[in-house]
Structure 1
Amino acid sequence: MTHASMNPITEDDIANFLVNTPDFFDRHAELLATVKLTSPHGQRAVSLQERQAEMLREKIKGLEMRMMDMMRHGTENEVLMAHLQRWVKSLLMNPIARDLPRAVAEGIQNEFAVPQVVIKLWDVAEPFQIEAFVAGVTDSAKAFAAALTTPYVGPNQAFEAVTWLVEPSAAQSVALIALRATREQDTPRTAVEQPVVGLLVLASPDPERYFAGMGTDFIERLGDLASAALTSLR
């Protein structure tokens, strides 16, 4: 019995031989024209060159799709930044302090297509303590807001803050963002230690608009900008 019959050549042996013998096809170039492979687009046999061309086309198509995704996301970001700029610009141009909470809420609602938005504040200066944006806030709501180290996003769980909306029953998913004091004298070591002075509520009838686990970076930025815009009320 020969050694070859005891240890038959396997596909791995052939693959290893070809990988480790790069000049094999230099010596047997005629084989390249006769090798046939199965095409992934049906069961027809194609030449090695055709299969390589198909693989290259598939790779190019994948790269094109990735490029299109990058361009689409880039365009979406540009549009988002344009809306953000318009919103901030409108707040900077508003000279009446008591109108700012309404301007913040309406700007978010219009620029970012949020069906319902409301703001409630506390610890405001005496001239503003009779305003609607201060009324109806309980100690329980203040404690809830103070406990938010990051925005809450997810289903409406009968939050008190949702009752501040014009149509509470239409709020299926919500984002609740704590508004923090941003005056220099209010700023301790970290942003999360700044005292909470209000709550921004975003609500949608779409139960998937705000969901647990979604990214909240942009929502947090809205809250930070809103907090800064409302500083004059304190």
Structure 2
Amino acid sequence: MNPTEHPITEDDIANFLANTPDFFERHAELLASVQLSSGHGNRAVSLQERQALMLREKIKGLETRMVDMIRHGQDNVAIADKMQRWTRKLLQAAQARDLPGAIVEGITTEFLIPQAAIKVWDVNGIFSDESFATDVSEDAKTFASSLGAPYCGVNSGFEAVNWLPEPAVALSMALIPLRGAEGAEVGGLLVLASPDPERFHSGMGTDFLERLGELAGAALTRLRPQQATAR
């Protein structure tokens, strides 16, 4: 058979070297004589040098990943600490009527959210005249009940934006439905807002916001008719 009918390909050479690990032991002189592109300009380097360069680049990449992992871990610890401080303040609220204000104040200070507001409905009658329980339309309640997860995105003219201290500068928002327990009816809405149009966006994860809503909703059960007291 004429060998030119089946010329040796690069894959053939690569497979041969991969399956013949002792080749360079028998031909050690090749390791010093083979010249490769350095990968940085046109300079040629030996095979050993090229391997060393590749290893250094790999190590650099691993170091970068490790730094990122450490930073993310530190960020998560910081968020957990803030969440704990905020939850502690809710547990320490002596009077049930102070809870909505404590929720909002804690969020803006602990998590550096520029603006926040909250409304709660179906509360005990002794709280029906409080600012957190008034001026909520049925449309707003229906909208809140339709949210299966927090809404994050631009301000599209939601009624809830008017609950904020400065509605005109709320360019991005997070709207978080509040439930007293898993599967319970929505009984309130927490609004977070920022002048940064990218602070809250449709592609962001909502796990943290959901946990925030679960804790706030559970705390607010003290305002419900079966739970509320004059304190």
Tell me the TM-score range normalised by the shorter chain: over 0.9
The residue number in structure 2 matching 1:125 is: 124
CA-to-aligned-CA distance 1:45-77 (integer Å, 9 cap, x gap): 111111111111111101100100000001111
The residue number in structure 1 matching 2:38 is: 39
Q: CA deviation at 1:103?
A: 0.6
The residue number in structure 2 matching 1:80 is: 79
C-alpha root-mean-square deviation of aligned residues, in Å?
1.2
- Which deviates more, 147-156 or 5-14? 5-14
- Paired residue type of 1:194: A
Find the aligned partners of 2:11 and 2:116 in 1 and give their Cα distance.
64
TM (norm. structure 2) is 0.93
The residue number in structure 1 matching 2:171 is: 172
The residue number in structure 2 matching 1:56 is: 55
- Paired residue type of 1:78: V
Q: Structure 1: which 5+ runs fail to align?
A: 183-190
Find the aligned partners of 1:171 and 1:84 in 2 and give their Cα distance.
24
Q: CA deviation at 1:118?
A: 0.4
Find the aligned partners of 1:155 and 1:52 in 2 and give their Cα distance.
50
- Which deviates more, 24-33 or 62-71? 24-33
SS of 1:176 mapped into structure 2: strand
The residue number in structure 2 matching 1:188 is: none
Q: Percent identity?
A: 62
SS of 1:201 mapped into structure 2: strand
Residue 197 in structure 1 maps to residue 187 in structure 2: yes
Find the aligned partners of 2:75 and 2:134 in 1 and give their Cα distance.
38
CA-to-aligned-CA distance 1:185-234 (integer Å, 9 cap, x gap): xxxxxx2x311111000011111011002100000111110011111111
Find the aligned partners of 1:93 and 1:13 in 2 and give their Cα distance.
73
TM (norm. structure 1) is 0.92
Residue 142 in structure 1 maps to residue 132 in structure 2: no
Count of residue pairs brought into register by the alignment? 224
- Which deviates more, 199-208 or 4-13? 4-13
Residue 233 in structure 1 maps to residue 223 in structure 2: yes
CA contact (8 A) 2:119 2:136 kept: yes
SS of 1:46 mapped into structure 2: strand
Find the aligned partners of 2:33 and 2:180 in 1 and give their Cα distance.
76
CA-to-aligned-CA distance 1:109-157 (integer Å, 9 cap, x gap): 1111111100001100011011010110011111001111111110111
Residue 211 in structure 1 maps to residue 224 in structure 2: no
Find the aligned partners of 1:13 and 1:92 in 2 and give their Cα distance.
71
Q: CA deviation at 1:7?
A: 3.2
Q: Structure 2: which 5+ runs fail to align?
A: 225-231
SS of 2:218 mapped into structure 1: helix
